[in-house]
Structure 1
C-alpha cells in the first residue's frame, strides 16, 4: 500500500484515483472546484481544494502532499493547438506553474513523480515516433509540456516518469461526436493515434506496481486506421450522421509507437475498446 497524491481529479484523475483505492492505496485528490470536493470524498478520496498558478499556489498544497510517496500530475496546459501570441508564449505560464509546484514537492515526502504529458510534444513528424525521436512541438501547448517534462526530469530531489498519451478517448469522450455530419474534413488518410481511458489507468497502475521511474513512455494503442475509416465506422456504431472527408491527400503520416510500454511494462492494450 502506498499513499499517492493526484493533482487534477478530472476526466482521467478521478477514475484513476478510484482504481488505486480499489487496489488498497491511500489517495489524496485535488480539484479546483469546491463543489467537487463532496464527489471526491464520496469516492473514498481525501479531497483538497488546490489552485496552481504561475506565481502562487493554495496553502492546501502542503497538506495535499503530506505523507505521500508518489505524486501524479494530471493538469492540462489548456493552451490550445494553435501557437499562442508572443505575450502569452513569453510568460510560459504552464511551465511557471510546474516550477512553482516543484518547490513544494522538494519540501514534501514525495520521492516519485508521474507527469501526464502528450504526444503533441512530437509535432506532426511524418514517421514512426518512439521515445528516442527528437521532440519538435508545433503548438504552444506541446512546447510548454516539453519544457515542463525536462524541468521535472532534471530535478534530482525526486524520480520522475513522463507518460505521453495519444488522443484520449473513452465511453463519454468520443471525438466523432464533434465530427458527425461535418463535411470537407481534412487529413482523412492520416493515421489515428488514440488511447482509451481504461488503458491510461492500467498503464499508470503498472508503472507504480513495477516501480518504473526515471523513464519516458509513449502510450498510444497499436491501432492506426485512417481518420476517415475510424471515424466513419464510429459514426455508424453510434448511429450518427457520417462525417465527410476531403479527397485531398494528407502529408501527415505520424504513427506513435508504444513498443516500449508493451515490452518494458509487459503491457497488452485492450483493442476491443477501440
Structure 2
C-alpha cells in the first residue's frame, strides 16, 4: 500500500472519472460538502459546464488502446478516485453491443498503471447488479451471492471489479447499482418505445430492482463519510413489485401507452437485497417507493 504522507493534506480532494448523468450531480453535491473535486468529461463542450459549478475539469477519454488527456494531472493529489464509466451498450449502426462492451476491461487495464503511480489510495467503482444472473434459483441476492452474469456488459463489469479489487496498490469498494432512474430518466419510456415495435415484452412477473439518482448519490457519499473501503455493496430500493404491475402503473401516471407483455413464457428475475447498505452505512432510502 502507498504511504499516506504524500496525500496527508489532500484527503478532501476527489477525482471523478465520468461526470455524466450520475457523476455530475455527485460532484456538485460533494462540492457543497467541502470537497475539492476534479471531474472528467469526454467532450470539450462540457468542460465549461463542469467549470461553471466549481469542478476542476479535464477532458479524458479511455479506449482499449490508450488514454487521451492529462490523466496524471487529473489524479494528482487526490486520495480518492471514483470511477463511473459504465460499459457502452449502444453505438452506431455498424457496431454491436458485444463489440462495444468488450473494450471495457481493456480501458480499466489501461487506467490501473496511472492509478498505481498516483497519490490515489482508495477507489470507488460504480458497477451494476447485472453481474448477477436473472436465471438463478435463490430468491434473494446478497453480496455473498456468487456473480454469474448473463450479459456481455455484466461479464465485463465483473472482470473490471476483480482487476481493481485484486490490486494491492489501492483499496477498492465496488457499488453495484440496480436500474437507474431519476426525474429525467425512467425505463418505462424505453419499454413503451420498444413495445410499440414489439408487443411481447419479457418477464411480466419478474421483480424490479431500481434505484433513484438521489439514493445513488446518498449511498456513495455514505461510503466516503464512513470510509468503507475494501467492500462490495448492492444498492437498489427496497421495493420489488412485478415488472407488469410497476411499469403499467407508471405508464398510466405519465399518460403513456401501456407496455405489452408476453404472458406465455415463465418469468425469470431476482430480488436484490440492500440490507448491507442499510446496516453498515446506516442508510435510509430517500426514494424507497420509486
2:145 is paired with a residue whose SS is coil
* Cα distance in 2 between the residues matched to 1:250 and 1:197: 31
* Cα distance in 2 between the residues matched to 1:248 and 1:271: 33
Aligned to 1:166: 178
**Paired residues of 1:191 and 1:227 also in contact (CA < 8 A):** yes
**Paired residues of 2:133 and 2:149 also in contact (CA < 8 A):** yes
Aligned to 2:15: 5
1:266 is paired with a residue whose SS is coil
Deviation at 1:55, TM superposition (A): 2.0
**Paired residues of 1:61 and 1:104 also in contact (CA < 8 A):** yes
Show structure 1 runs of 5+ residues with no match: none
2:246 is paired with a residue whose SS is helix
TM-score after normalising by structure 1 = 0.93
Deviation at 1:44, TM superposition (A): 1.0
**Paired residues of 1:189 and 1:249 also in contact (CA < 8 A):** no
**Paired residues of 2:208 and 2:241 also in contact (CA < 8 A):** yes
* Cα distance in 2 between the residues matched to 1:94 and 1:72: 16
* Cα distance in 1 between the residues matched to 2:22 and 2:97: 26
Deviation at 1:273, TM superposition (A): 5.8
RMSD: 1.8
Structure 1, 12-21 or 121-130: larger mean CA deviation: 121-130
Matched, 1:203 2:213: no
Match of 1:156 among 168, 180, 185: 168
CA-to-aligned-CA distance 1:114-141 (integer Å, 9 cap, x gap) = 0000011112124311100010011111
Matched, 1:241 2:257: yes
Aligned to 1:105: 115
Q: How many residue pairs were aligned?
A: 269
Deviation at 1:240, TM superposition (A): 1.4
**Paired residues of 1:196 and 1:273 also in contact (CA < 8 A):** no
